[in-house]
Amino acid sequence: MTKSIVQTTKEVCFLCGASTTVRHHIIHGRGQRQLSEAEGLWVYMCALHHHYLHNLPDHPHDAELKALAQRKWIEQKKKEGYTNGQARGMWLNKFGKFFD
């Protein structure tokens, strides 16, 4: 199991702190879940919030989480020695769009 680069608290809902959770892949849809898993872009969610993020179009928390995941991923790449521009280019190449 890949470690999340977004959430450090184990198995509590990222949004409300509930203890009954499932893993939510932040970048999701058509083949993106596996990529999200491999890159550590996931958080724990309670069933209610997980349902909302997948079933309510344009849910604000979905956009917020995607932007947060992008920032965390780019920060990680910069720590590995890439410039901000290089890291953003790598993100765009891998995920196809920006969320900020």
CB 87 within 8 A of CB 74: yes
- The two most distant CA atoms of the chain are separated, in Å, by 39
3-class SS of residue 11 = coil
- Read off the pLDDT of residues 42-100 as tens digits, 9 standing for 90 and up: 999 999 999 999 898 788 999 999 999 999 999 999 999 999 999 999 999 999 999 98
Look at 21 and 41; give whichever has higher pLDDT.
41
* pTM for the full predicted model: 0.90
Return the pLDDT at 1: 66
- Here the contacts of 26-35 (C-beta below 8 Å, separation 24 or greater) are 26/65, 26/66, 26/68, 26/69, 27/66, 27/69, 27/95, 28/54, 32/95, 35/94, 35/95
12 pLDDT band (50/70/90 cuts)? very high
